[in-house]
Amino acid sequence: MTIHKEGRGLILATTVVAVLLNITVASVPSYFSPTVYSVLSTTVLVLSIVVLLLVLQFFRLPAIEVIKNEKQVLAPADGKVVVIEETEEPEYLQSRRKQISIFMSPINVHVNRMPVAGKISYAKYHPGKYLVAWHPKSSTENERTTIAVKMKNGTEVLFRQIAGALARRIKWYVKEGQPMEQGDEFGFIKFGSRVDIFLPLDARVTVKIGDITKGGKTVIAEF
């Protein structure tokens, strides 16, 4: 288990603020009665530790073993399956597709991983709103990225990082023409968010609504 690079600055800042706050509290005991000061100092210390632990858990980066299989689609994110439906993908593929959406809560690992191997054929960032991630219009109106990958057999799979009401920092690490392996990290979304993935209509979905996924581990569909 390590800490993701996206969280190092925030963790440092949180630690500095916590230390300074506790030093400040420790320097003013004469302003309070012993009982009040004891409660205050203990409360500030406990809250500082809790906040720091929450930040650390959010940016955790567990080591995983990716089992690669060109006939399988791996979950691009940790979270819960909230949508499985046939829909139109109008931005790039411009065709009917099977959509699987995974909602990522603040307690999930927020690393995003390649569901299949191939070459990045499309990558675009869209500024937008910050509707709650499960809102029906979040996939078309929220801040988001759209990334497509072309597999070696010519099949294209598209996935979309979508910001939520709290998630306003989408990070992506790929560009068009870049080759990627299945399970490679392609991005990160800070705080609650969602990832949509669009598959060919002949893909067989292997998850159901409410299932919990692990990015780079859970098989969500097969070709």
Assigned token pair, 52: 């720091």
Residue 70 has a pLDDT of 93
Judge whether 193 counts as a catalytic residue.
Answer: yes
Find the helix or strand (DSSP H, E) in which 43 lies.
Answer: helix 34-58
> What is the token pair recorded at 188?
């990160």
pLDDT for 200 equals 96
The tally of CA atoms less than 13 A away on the side-chain side of residue 218 is 20
Q: Would you say 144 and 160 are in contact if contact means Cβ atoms under 8 Å apart?
A: yes
Percent of the chain with pLDDT over 70: 90
CA–centroid distance for 154 within its chain: 27
Res. 158: pLDDT tops 90: yes
Higher pLDDT, 80 or 25: 80
Candidates 48, 101, 138, 193; catalytic one:
193
Question: What's the fold here for domain 72-222?
Answer: Glucose Permease (Domain IIA) (2.70.70)
Distance CA 82, CA 104 (A): 10
